[in-house]
Chain A
């Protein structure tokens, strides 16, 4: 192996690592706020990737109908919960968020798809279709059980993952899809050719992480989400609805998943079940970050990406095994070093 190959592998690893970083950060976010270990994160990657690919091919993606269905179901859940105290205001509010929003997205899709509006519009449309699925899913599957144990929530998450994967097969079929690259540009950095696509991945990752940091550090809603993560009862006592925090966390996670999918679908062929493995690698990073530290998760994700790239060169059959084995020394070290953790302080 010479330097060029090494640099090539590093670039490749960092590109995947950047995507794992996004997914890992989303997993930490969802876990901190809702205590859900968000296995279906990978399905949002798949849905984002395939929705984008279908849109790029000039067709209407099935996820648009899924959005409408999920919105209607979430609306019914809301009606049932508030059946004894339905007010006009509540009804309008819920109908706007859960019925009108999917309708508007569907309308836009039908108008914009025949126009072949280009990858940037398709990217926004994909986010508009996949992003709201997060909070709807939270409303349907997790909110009714929000105070259950972490294990119960994990089992729910596995169920949702399986359901969404099956739904992916119905919506997109068993064939893999690939989208044309968003950017065909290519540069050379010394001996190393760098594709515009990987530059795009780095920029989007950095931009999203910066935006998330600003959101959590500067905005009231961001602080409210952190507060929910730190002390749920304390959050309720100042009037923060933990269900709202949960929906926002899921909306962010779904959007991050969709963007990750859009970033990888021009590079790799994505099948209905590809997202799961991609999501699990983000999960490895999140575990190394203790499901708590965002910077550690992001750094670990880059390491996961690089290890994966090197492993696929030296021992491609063992690639996945090597990547997932990373988790073992970390778990051993953590269990020795940290003893027992309490969720609530004081």
Chain B
């Protein structure tokens, strides 16, 4: 399979500290790829830099085209990349529907109505709450809104940063079901998670990140079965 998205020797620094060093990874069309690792391993930094929120060095390609440093966040959204950030960054004092409308800011206006009803079909809770202010939603609903807003741009690659963070276990299960459904609908997904078990369960392939470097990679099922991974990320403490 050809890669939809790839990073080669991708490095992100905060001043003199390298938060992400020489990372290479790729995502093929229709695939869920996950990056697992401990808190502070550099996973969020990796996604933020891939989206253009942070400056980075290295080569980055999307749909066979190399992305330039000058392609800012807004240009990347236009190309079909979309990030659901860990902090969600919703428009709290605006309604749920306005948040979704703005999600389609760069999308083709003629497809708008169809996309909106798709998103409401996927997240019926958002339809119930559509006049409510985003800031008044519960944690799970906020995550749904953040994902719904991202889907409004009809992304070709959806990057999800810790979608399960701070959510009740039942809602985490819902969110992961929705992620699996999205792959079935043809969306490629790069998923960053601390909840390694849930991530490895739905992912096709996985990378393990430690202190800013990729230390292991392979099929998700193989990594999940690996005793050292199980000891570090799957069993203890959860």
Contacts and interface: CB of A to CB of B under 8 A. Distances in A.
B124 interface: no
Given A85-B68, A345-B135, A346-B87, A240 B105 contact: yes
A236 B94 contact: no
Contact of B92 (A231, A235, A241): A231
A238 B51 CA distance: 11
25 contacts: A220-B101, A220-B105, A226-B91, A226-B94, A227-B102, A230-B94, A233-B53, A233-B85, A233-B87, A236-B73, A237-B83, A237-B89, A237-B150, A238-B77, A238-B102, A238-B105, A238-B149, A238-B152, A239-B106, A240-B102, A241-B72, A241-B74, A345-B135, A346-B87, A346-B89
A235 B105 CA distance: 9
Max count, chain B CB within 10 A of own CB: residue among A82, A237, A239? A237
Given A233-B89, A237-B150, 18 more contacts: A82-B70, A84-B70, A223-B94, A223-B98, A224-B105, A226-B91, A227-B102, A230-B93, A234-B91, A235-B91, A236-B74, A237-B51, A237-B83, A237-B89, A238-B106, A238-B149, A238-B153, A241-B74
Interface string A216-253: 00001001101100110111111111000000000000
B154 to A, nearest CB: 12
Contacts, number: 77
Interface string A67-105: 000000000000000101100000000000000000000
B4 interface: no
Contact of A346 (B53, B88, B153): B88
Interface in A325-346: 345-346
A236 to B, nearest CB: 5
Interface string B69-87: 0101110011000110101
Interface string B86-123: 01111111100010011101100000000000000000
Interface of B: 51, 53, 68, 70, 72-74, 77-78, 82-83, 85, 87-94, 98, 101-103, 105-106, 135, 142, 149-150, 152-153
A237 B159 CA distance: 11
A239 B101 CA distance: 12
A224 B51 CA distance: 20
B105 A239 contact: yes
B74 A230 contact: no
Interface size class of A (residues with CB under 8 A): 20 to 34
B89 A231 contact: yes
A230 B95 CA distance: 12
Contacts of B74: 236, 239-241
Contacts of A241: 72, 74
A239 B14 CA distance: 25
Interface in A297-344: none
B153 A239 contact: yes
Interface in A11-53: none
Contact of B89 (A84, A223, A234): A234
A290 B107 CA distance: 35
Contact of A236 (B53, B87, B135, B142): B53
Contacts of A233: 53, 85, 87, 89
A341 to B, nearest CB: 13
Nearest to A217: B98
Contact of A345 (B70, B92, B101): B92
**A-B complex: 3 closest residue pairs judged by Cβ atoms:** A234-B89, A239-B77, A239-B106
B90 A346 contact: yes
A239 B52 CA distance: 12
A84 B69 CA distance: 11
A17 B85 CA distance: 44
B102 A224 contact: yes
Contact of B101 (A223, A231, A236): A223
Nearest to A233: B89
B91 A230 contact: yes
Contacts of B78: 239
A240 B77 CA distance: 9
Contacts of B105: 220, 224, 238-240
Contacts of B85: 233, 237
